[in-house]
Structure 1
Amino acid sequence: MIKITFDVAQGRIHSFTLSGHADFAKKGSDIVCAGVSAVTFGAVNAIESLTDVIPEIKQSGQGGYLNCVIPEDISESSREKVQLLLDGMLVSLQTIEHDYGKYMKIILRQ
């Protein structure tokens, strides 16, 4: 199962961690894994490309691990842009979870 934990404070996502594998289908055919990967990596790439923010990223191919932390020392304008992108990512992941909740779980940690 893929677990995605969002650290949220004051209504803002400060970081997220993704780990595990969906095991929906064999490697290379797993649409849940592909969807989650596309949404999360797309959001990280969008943050880097569309804002002046470079998140702190830790990644491992083993265990499907990705940790993304948004720096605290960014402008309010950048923070708003980053938050919008992260909110969009969360909505997309919740859409996947709605149909494939047996294979992934989203945790909002306040």
Structure 2
Amino acid sequence: MISVTIYRTQSGKIQSFMISGHAFYANRGKDIVCAGVSAVSVGAINAVHKVTGITPEFEVGEAGYLSCSIPNDLPEDVSDKVQILLEGMIVSLQTIEEEYGKHIKITFKKQEVE
């Protein structure tokens, strides 16, 4: 199963996200759930960079691992754009989860302190 964890600040802004695991929906190369999650998440990181000029900190690893953190000290207008792009990513991932819930689970966590 793919595990997606979205970390939000106390005020509700997306601070980071982490994705790991495999959907095991179909054989390697034909797994539309893995492909969809990969396209949406990597596309969101690329969109943040292209639209805002900000390069989020990210790490790609084995077993479908992707983590991404947004810098804390962004100007408000840039931060707003980043948040809209990442909220769009979440909507897309939730759409995948609605259809393929046995293969992807999204969890939201909120920081204790801002």
TM-score past 0.5 threshold: yes
Residue type matched to 1:13 in 2? I
Distance apart, 1:52 and its partner CA: 2.4
Q: Which residue matches 1:92?
A: 92
Normalising by structure 1, we get a TM-score of 0.97
Residue type matched to 1:95 in 2? T
**How far, CA to CA, are the matches of 2:46 and 2:109 in structure 1?**
23
List runs of 5+ in structure 1 lacking aligned partners.
Answer: none
| Secondary structure of the corresponding residue to residue 22 of structure 2 | coil
**How far, CA to CA, are the matches of 2:54 and 2:82 in structure 1?**
8
Query: How many matched pairs?
Result: 109
Is 1:107–2:112 an aligned residue pair?
no
| Secondary structure of the corresponding residue to residue 37 of structure 2 | helix
List runs of 5+ in structure 2 lacking aligned partners.
Answer: none
Q: Percent identity?
A: 52
| Secondary structure of the corresponding residue to residue 67 of structure 1 | strand
**How far, CA to CA, are the matches of 1:88 and 1:95 in structure 2?**
11
Q: Which residue matches 2:21?
A: 20
Is 1:55–2:56 an aligned residue pair?
yes
Residue type matched to 1:56 in 2? E
Deviates more, 1:81-90 or 1:49-58: 49-58
Is 1:79–2:98 an aligned residue pair?
no
**How far, CA to CA, are the matches of 2:12 and 2:66 in structure 1?**
22
Normalising by structure 2, we get a TM-score of 0.94
**Any runs of at least 4 consecutive aligned residues in structure 1 with deviations exceeding 6 A, and if so which?**
none
